Structure 1
Amino acid sequence: MSDIMPVNQKSSVAVVGIGHTSYGRLPEHDACSLGLWALNNALDDCGLSHDDIDGLILNRITDYQRFATLCNINPAYTLTTPAHGRFSAVCVQTAVAVIQAGLASVVALVYGNNGRSAGVRYAGTSAPYDSEAGGLWFPYGMTSPSAYHALMMQRHMAKYGTNERQLGAIASTFRRHACVNPDAVMRKPYSVDEYLASPFICEPLRLLDHCLINDGGVAMIVTTAERAADMPGKPVFVRGHGQASSFSHSDFPPDDFWGDAMQRAGRHSYAMAGLGPADMDGLMIYDNFTPTVLFSLEGFGYCGRGESGVWVEEGHLAIGGRFPANTSGGHLSESYMQGWNLHIEAVRQLRGTAAGRQIEQARHIHYMAAAPIVSSIIYAGEPR
């Protein structure tokens, strides 16, 4: 399959507002009210009001009509997307396309999730974790994302010699980052040995390899670079983005760990941004499970295939390392907001407002997600 080559262009779209709710158990809220809470904070962040919104993209908030009614808005463009976490970056890419096409000038991206209070379980035959295709494998125990990723990790271990201590290095590093984030749900540090003492959920994945299901909401406001220049805060630009899919046989773990799709998405975003892995100052890696971090590092070219285990043990992902990653604690320790909290952490880093966990002189942050829909977004503090 040939790549779709991006057109070289100036960064024409910028993130100007970010907002989020508390994370944890918030039983008095549903997904809609959590999204509204986050949106109001994002609007306050950039000095805009509901009246300025002419584009609305919702994720995991299914009742777009109710949400718009509560905001008292009639956007020119409205979209709600599937609930899967892989769609956070898809929403950002869609907002960029909508603005560049002139369909809207100020787009609100809003996510709300009351999964913890609602008792959501990403497992069991009554809760298919990605599509009905997964049901083909339910009789064999493949009834959850954990089982899916555990099988992939077993293959990676057998093929490359990756080990459990290397998974522990990821989990413990992200927990240390969460310890300096007052919004993180989990803030008690642990060592790799303590990680190894945690119970298995689906071998080789332990309790601490899993993301944290919580209630919460996140919102972003994106607009044109021209309008962003007149706003009070520092804009953060979507300098490059790419997407690829790996649907063929995606109902069973792929042999290449989504590597080929990541290479396609990575090439597209790097070419659009005029940058490469060596230009990045930090990484935001979709970490629903620790193995996804390993797969992403290999797929997007930060280390060779099969080398990610040793690479993370060397400390490159820690604050102060070469590629500080998930500096808020990510899904493993801040909260599982299905990618959205990683996007707003990228914005904070490029604004220079990530107090206590700031990456020194951050200019370029790479968001990446490994899944059947692979996404790559390069955020920058300056336009091209």
Structure 2
Amino acid sequence: MSLISRRKDSVAVVGVGTTDYGALVGHDATSLGIWALRNAAQDAGIDLQDIDGLICQRLTDYQKFVQITNTSPKLVTAVPGAGRMTGGTIQIAVQAILSGMLDTVAVVYGNDGRTAGARYGGQGDNYGTGADEMWFPYGMTSPGAVHSMLFQRHAHLYGTKVEQLGQIAMAFRKHAGLNPSAVMKKPVTMDDYLASRFICEPLRLLDYCLINDGGVAMILTAGDRARDFRQRPVYVRGVAQLSRLAQGELPDDFGYAAMQRVSATVHEMADLKREDADALMIYDNFTPIVVFVLEGFGFCPRGDGGRYVENGTLELGRGRYPTNTNGGHLSESYMQGWNLQAEAVRQLRGGLGSRQVPDAEVVQYLQGGPLSTSIIYATEAS
């Protein structure tokens, strides 16, 4: 069992900062991270020099980052740019604070993918691990191809339909229409979804996340200090991760077994049940992963994910678990999980107007894939 589950200490998010999203010409990933961190520090009501730990993801140059921000952190570390590392980055921050070595840690992400011409998959992919190269001779040259094949297997086994994927795209676009920061706000109908062009059949353009520029930063601190900051604290009640890297990119069970183990761990750690969640934030790089994650984390029976998302189940005001209320990666912007962390915190603070989940007290982040992850955020420490 992890360190956090054996302690009564708590960790809270006390600052959140985001940049604009879209095509942000003149910025690289590092400057976008700086922009986000400055906003997070202002949100928390602190100076950058109050931060004694820095964990950054995908920044062009962490040394330049520290020099420009004129900080002197006791811990500086950088993690790879893949989105699967997001949960682990936050987990490192939590563990560093619980160890007593650090008081206030910033986790910072910057992405200039749109203006830099980023591509995910294929020989020009600078953000992968290289593990996918074994699939290239068979045409599996991108994450989209992997998810397309997984979806076809799911459809064969359980009767899942492309129209059910369309329901996911429609729900998240509806939420994006309520979010001033979202890149894509134009409503999507089922006819629009079915008319969108194939990228890797049967997945269409509207099944794919957006490649954009942007940055996100969060500031975390020990729970006994959290109420000294400007904003209402949001507590990290549980965080868990499990690798299934050895099973490769095409697991026979869609990652179900790994997600089941992560689910059990994170709920025990948080001392909360699945039913306590008021909203979900699901890593939606492609629509099929939403189906796999809902099954893997037990929000619907195995094989029923497609049927579960029908008829507005994920929508604000209709579903039991409104999901990706900011529009997610499909419609707000692809920030590799980070914009979902920001949205979780903001939902628990309240005040989001028409996209606010009423009386939200618990929001759960869910991620499938080779590093299955879950984080439970709550308004109370215990």
TM range (shorter): over 0.9
- Asked if structure 2 preserves the Cα contact closer than 8 Å seen for 1:240 and 1:273, the reply is yes
- Counterpart for residue 169 of structure 1: 167
Report 1:218-297 matches (<5 A): 218-250=216-248, 252-297=249-294
Residue 51 of structure 1, CA deviation: 1.0
Residue 11 of structure 1, CA deviation: 5.4
C-alpha distance in structure 2 between counterparts of 1:192 and 1:98, whole Å: 46
Residue 371 of structure 1, CA deviation: 1.1
Call closer, same or farther: CA 1:287–1:380 in 2, change over 3 Å.
same
- Asked if structure 2 preserves the Cα contact closer than 8 Å seen for 1:128 and 1:134, the reply is no
- Counterpart for residue 194 of structure 2: 196
Do structure 1's residue 112 and structure 2's residue 99 form an aligned pair? Answer: no
Call closer, same or farther: CA 1:169–1:363 in 2, change over 3 Å.
same
Residue 146 of structure 1, CA deviation: 0.5
C-alpha distance in structure 1 between counterparts of 2:128 and 2:256, whole Å: 19
C-alpha distance in structure 2 between counterparts of 1:128 and 1:61, whole Å: 13
Q: Secondary structure at the match of 2:355?
A: coil
C-alpha distance in structure 2 between counterparts of 1:310 and 1:255, whole Å: 20
- Counterpart for residue 131 of structure 2: 133
Call closer, same or farther: CA 1:123–1:57 in 2, change over 3 Å.
same
More off after superposition, 182-191 vs 5-14: 5-14
C-alpha distance in structure 1 between counterparts of 2:228 and 2:4, whole Å: 28
C-alpha distance in structure 1 between counterparts of 2:49 and 2:130, whole Å: 40
C-alpha distance in structure 1 between counterparts of 2:329 and 2:283, whole Å: 7
- CA-to-aligned-CA distance 1:16-36 (integer Å, 9 cap, x gap): 000111000012100110000
Q: Secondary structure at the match of 1:86?
A: helix
Residue 324 of structure 1, CA deviation: 0.3
- Asked if structure 1 preserves the Cα contact closer than 8 Å seen for 2:9 and 2:98, the reply is no
C-alpha distance in structure 1 between counterparts of 2:40 and 2:127, whole Å: 30
C-alpha distance in structure 1 between counterparts of 2:306 and 2:378, whole Å: 28
- Counterpart for residue 99 of structure 1: 97
What is the aligned counterpart of 2:350 among 349, 352, 361?
Answer: 352
- Asked if structure 1 preserves the Cα contact closer than 8 Å seen for 2:120 and 2:128, the reply is no
Over aligned residue pairs, what C-alpha RMSD do you find? 1.4
C-alpha distance in structure 1 between counterparts of 2:149 and 2:126, whole Å: 17
- Asked if structure 1 preserves the Cα contact closer than 8 Å seen for 2:4 and 2:95, the reply is no
1:341 partner amino acid: N
- Asked if structure 2 preserves the Cα contact closer than 8 Å seen for 1:113 and 1:216, the reply is yes
More off after superposition, 64-73 vs 154-163: 64-73
2:270 partner amino acid: A
Q: Secondary structure at the match of 1:97?
A: helix
Call closer, same or farther: CA 1:143–1:128 in 2, change over 3 Å.
farther
C-alpha distance in structure 2 between counterparts of 1:38 and 1:230, whole Å: 21
1:68 partner amino acid: V
Call closer, same or farther: CA 1:105–1:5 in 2, change over 3 Å.
closer
The list of structure 1 runs, each at least 4 consecutive aligned residues, that deviate by more than 6 angstroms after superposition, is 3-6
C-alpha distance in structure 1 between counterparts of 2:14 and 2:216, whole Å: 14
- Asked if structure 1 preserves the Cα contact closer than 8 Å seen for 2:121 and 2:128, the reply is no
Residue 127 of structure 1, CA deviation: 2.1
Do structure 1's residue 207 and structure 2's residue 205 form an aligned pair? Answer: yes
Q: Secondary structure at the match of 2:37?
A: helix
Q: Secondary structure at the match of 2:381?
A: coil
C-alpha distance in structure 1 between counterparts of 2:366 and 2:220, whole Å: 19
C-alpha distance in structure 2 between counterparts of 1:32 and 1:259, whole Å: 36
What is the aligned counterpart of 1:182 among 177, 180, 183?
Answer: 180
C-alpha distance in structure 2 between counterparts of 1:137 and 1:51, whole Å: 46
Residue 204 of structure 1, CA deviation: 1.2
Report 1:6-21 matches (<5 A): 7-10=5-8, 12-21=10-19
Residue 300 of structure 1, CA deviation: 0.5
C-alpha distance in structure 2 between counterparts of 1:135 and 1:340, whole Å: 27
C-alpha distance in structure 2 between counterparts of 1:361 and 1:157, whole Å: 37
- Counterpart for residue 301 of structure 2: 304
- Asked if structure 2 preserves the Cα contact closer than 8 Å seen for 1:172 and 1:192, the reply is yes
Residue 148 of structure 1, CA deviation: 0.6
Q: Secondary structure at the match of 2:109?
A: strand
C-alpha distance in structure 1 between counterparts of 2:158 and 2:31, whole Å: 46
- CA-to-aligned-CA distance 1:27-62 (integer Å, 9 cap, x gap): 210011000000000000010011100000001014
TM-score (norm. length: structure 2) = 0.97
TM-score (norm. length: structure 1) = 0.97
- Counterpart for residue 41 of structure 1: 39
Residue 261 of structure 1, CA deviation: 0.8
Residue 318 of structure 1, CA deviation: 0.5
Q: How many residues align?
A: 381
- CA-to-aligned-CA distance 1:51-84 (integer Å, 9 cap, x gap): 1000000010142111111111111111100000
Residue 102 of structure 1, CA deviation: 1.3
Do structure 1's residue 317 and structure 2's residue 303 form an aligned pair? Answer: no
**Structure 2 gap ranges (5+):** none
C-alpha distance in structure 1 between counterparts of 2:54 and 2:124, whole Å: 31
Call closer, same or farther: CA 1:297–1:378 in 2, change over 3 Å.
same
C-alpha distance in structure 2 between counterparts of 1:216 and 1:287, whole Å: 17
- Counterpart for residue 338 of structure 1: 336
- Asked if structure 2 preserves the Cα contact closer than 8 Å seen for 1:85 and 1:338, the reply is yes
Identity of aligned residues (%): 55
